[in-house]
């Protein structure tokens, strides 16, 4: 795929790892159509290295390892103003509403990046998005160390949630 020119506030990331999510399986079977018209590049769980930065980027430099938050938010709806970007009324996702991380390069605003320590493999950094779901679910539920959880289904989010607690799986 051709690499698009980045805008002044964007960063070009060379993807090192991208993870296959359950959503990607639904995309493959056509469940997300017409959001994902063919030809299309999926992949919303990804990590890599900064290849290039726009001239307004302040917090990242070429060569840094990053994980990418796939949420594209408007910044002006009531949810965004409150800082609750996943509830954006115009929410879009890299890898669903636009081409994603199963390619060599992705251009994103710097606000969508998280620095990754050098000692952490990009293979694991690509899982930041899925881990954040399990972490957020535990935080919202007020789960404390030692609590026992029952998780219905033991697929990816359930497995991630397990890493924060000792749940009981119900299949």
What pLDDT is stored for residue 162 in this prediction? 57
* Residue 167, domain member (yes or no): no
Question: CA-to-CA distance for 10 and 52, rounded, in angstroms?
Answer: 9
* Residue 131, domain member (yes or no): no
What pLDDT is stored for residue 168 in this prediction? 45
**Total tally of structural domains belonging to the chain:** 1
Which element (helix H / strand E) includes 106? strand 105-109
DSSP per position, 32-74: TTTSSPSS-----EEEEEEEEE-TT--S--TT-EEEE--EE--
pLDDT by residue for the chain (171 residues), tens digit each? Answer: 889 899 999 999 999 999 988 888 888 888 887 888 878 899 999 999 999 999 999 999 999 999 999 999 999 999 999 998 889 999 999 999 989 999 999 999 999 999 999 999 999 999 888 888 777 777 888 888 778 777 776 666 766 665 555 444 443
* Residue 164, domain member (yes or no): no
State the CATH number of the domain containing residue 21: 3.90.180.10
Tell me if 12 sits within 8 A of 52, measured CB to CB: yes
What pLDDT is stored for residue 160 in this prediction? 64
Question: CA-to-CA distance for 60 and 97, rounded, in angstroms?
Answer: 25
* Residue 98, domain member (yes or no): yes
Provide the residue range defining the domain that includes 68. 10-126
What pLDDT is stored for residue 131 in this prediction? 82
What is the SS3 string spanning 126-143?
Answer: CCHHHHHHHHHHHHHHCC
Decide the pairing of beta strands 65-68 and 71-72. Answer: unpaired
């Amino acid at each position: 795929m051709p690499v698009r020119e980045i805008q002044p506030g964007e960063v070009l990331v060379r993807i090192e790892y991208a993870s296959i999510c359950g959503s990607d399986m639904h995309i493959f079977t056509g469940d997300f159509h017409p959001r994902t018209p063919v030809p299309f590049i999926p992949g919303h769980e990804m990590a890599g290295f900064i290849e290039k930065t726009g001239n307004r980027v302040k917090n990242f430099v070429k060569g840094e390892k990053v994980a990418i938050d796939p949420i594209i938010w408007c910044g002006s709806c009531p949810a965004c103003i409150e800082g609750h970007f996943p509830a954006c009324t115009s929410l879009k996702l890299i890898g669903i509403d636009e081409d994603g991380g199963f390619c060599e390069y992705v251009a994103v605003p710097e606000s969508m990046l998280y620095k990754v320590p050098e000692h952490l493999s990009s293979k694991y950094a690509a899982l930041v998005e899925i881990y954040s779901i399990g972490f957020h679910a535990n935080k919202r539920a007020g789960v404390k160390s030692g609590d026992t959880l029952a998780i219905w289904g033991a697929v990816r989010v359930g497995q991630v949630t397990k890493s924060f607690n000792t749940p009981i799986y119900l299949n």
